[in-house]
A and B are shown apart, each in its own frame.
Chain A
Amino acid sequence: MKIIVCIKQVPATTAEKRYRADLRLDRAASEAVINPLDEYAIEQALRLQESGAVESVGYLSMGPEQAGEALRRALAMGGDEAYLVTDAALAGSDAWATARVLAAALDRLAPDVALMGMASDDARGSLVPAAVAAMRGVPLLSYGSELQLHGTTARVRRLTAAGFDMLEAPLPVVASVTDQVGEPRYASLKGIMAAKRKPMETWSLADLGLAPADLHGAALTRVVEIRKPEAKPPTERIENVGPDEAVTRIADWLAARKLI
């Protein structure tokens, strides 16, 4: 049984981010980490491997050369091998192009489960898991708080507003998990040292049998403008007054905005 975890390298939540003149994110400039929500997918895959349900865990990422660092960090947490798809033609890829490339790579790797985190930190679109499933012609089990494997069936536990459902589908599947799977482990020192020796392959678009023309210039969407958000008016403060006075002022404020 094989799981491939798709991970994305993103700017750290607290890092300073910059766009370049061509309106693309300057991914090299910011401090980069594994997309925090992907760490939960990694953790889920490693737990399944530790329990013996899965023999092999690999990682797949699409990005600039630097994304290899994210793959090494994942290998330091555990797992066996990593694959990086990198190509100049992929710069500025949108969700569709990303899904197209990941789908092609996953078809080559043919895992039983292609596992992803539920959203990426930068764009928060979370369309990629479903798009990949559709392109590959496999079922999608999304937003799982736990992934289970039973013979030739995969199941996820999905929390709903009214409790939880168990969803299932026959393997192979695409699955995505939330932060409810459990705290991701830290990479141990031996893990970090071992990661350097684990195999990592680098693929270009040509290796996947894709040409830049297939990707419509890496995006079906085009950014036309980047701007700063509207300046918010400064925060109004209520302090150094007793609770009754504070409440009167709050209520007045809400009423002025027709919220009550």
Chain B
Amino acid sequence: MSNDICFLAEFADGVASRSAMELAAGARELAAQSGGATVALAYGPGAAAGAAGLGAAGASRAVVLSDTNVPAVTLAVAAAAAVRGAHTLLAPATPNGRDLAGALVGLLGVPAFGPVRAARIEGGRLLTEQATLQGTVITVSQPADGAPQPSVVLVLSGTFTPLEGGTGKAVVSQAGGVDAGPLGQARIAESHPAEAAVANLEEASMIVAGGRGVGSADGFAPLHELAAVLGGAVGASRAAADAGWVPYQLQIGQTGKVVKPALYVACGISGAIQHRVGMQTAQNVVAINKDPDAPIGEFADLFVVGDLFAIVPRLTAEIRRRAGG
């Protein structure tokens, strides 16, 4: 039994994901509270080479679970060996993170939390905060008395801020060659890349999203430009995705992605509850809509009544101008 704080560090194309950087910072914060070390569990293409670099992000040790593109859940047995007895494991609230975290809960019989918007350790005990019931309630939870360790915590993106200007290298080790068991039997039989990769919305800190008011696939062009000048990604409501104006991967909401960016610009989105649950924890919500009575006006931070096709291009130009371009 240790006070170590572990976290999942997903790699793609040799680069640590944004969630890995955020969780590294979070683990460092919690480790300072628990008095333990921070341990990264690295996986995905390029994890072996990149694991040491996690030291600058906050990890003191890194265990490489795998260096290839496999379904994360197949690494659960190796991960279980690596985290056994640790205080807490932080996992990203992404599909891979949830699968691996869920499998660990099943293998180790440990408490699970999340997706949380805050976590800390007080008096040696984990405390988490989660928005439940479509954000109408905040639930604060902790492990039950006598519950085994580690606690597995799903963390929403944007909960922790990656460290800047950190130094140091993590001590890297390979996960022991354990038999992956039945969970290891899932494999990627075929991989079909799309022509253009779609940005991972769950990791974006700026999102420009379009809804029914955008009207067409072409209508999304000004949204892409605004997203580009903000350095962010484009998302959509279900109406726009169902209409085929954007690929399904861009859909945010009850049946799509849940995002927690620093800025969410909603264009032509009415703000029905099914969309709201996907983005309501965004730190700043700006909504642009022709309808002054649109429900999104109730919970946006800034509500602009106007024509998005007049406002969005001008906003893009103004932001560019202020940036000195």
Contacts and interface: CB of A to CB of B under 8 A. Distances in A.
Interface of A: 11, 13-14, 17, 19, 25, 36-37, 94-96, 99, 103, 121-135, 137-143, 145, 155, 159-170, 173, 178-180, 216-217, 219-229, 232-233, 235-240, 243-244, 246-248, 250-251, 253-255, 257, 259-260
Interface in B198-250: 198-200, 206, 230, 248-249
Contact of B318 (A125, A133, A247): A247
B262 A130 contact: no
Interface stretch (B23-31, B35-43, B55-63, B309-317): B309-317
Given A96-B112, A162-B193, A180-B248, A221 B106 contact: no
Contacts of A162: 193-194, 197-198
B109 A96 contact: yes
Interface stretch (B82-90, B96-104, B158-166): B96-104
B300 interface: yes
Report, nearest first, the 7 A-B pairs whose CB atoms are least far apart: A134-B106, A130-B102, A127-B102, A220-B111, A163-B194, A131-B106, A239-B305
Contact of A169 (B107, B185, B190): B185
Given A130-B100, A141-B186, A17 B322 contact: no
Contact of A125 (B114, B263, B306): B114
B145 to A, nearest CB: 8
Contacts of A125: 98, 112, 114-115, 154
B141 A260 contact: no
B230 A260 contact: yes
B188 A217 contact: no
Contacts of B297: 235, 237
B73 A250 contact: no
A38 to B, nearest CB: 12
B1 interface: no
B199 A236 contact: no
B173 interface: no
A137 B197 CA distance: 34
A259 B105 contact: no
A165 B190 contact: yes
B254 interface: yes
Contact of A168 (B127, B154, B186, B322): B186
B187 A168 contact: yes
Nearest to B91: A127
A132 B106 contact: yes
Contacts of A132: 106
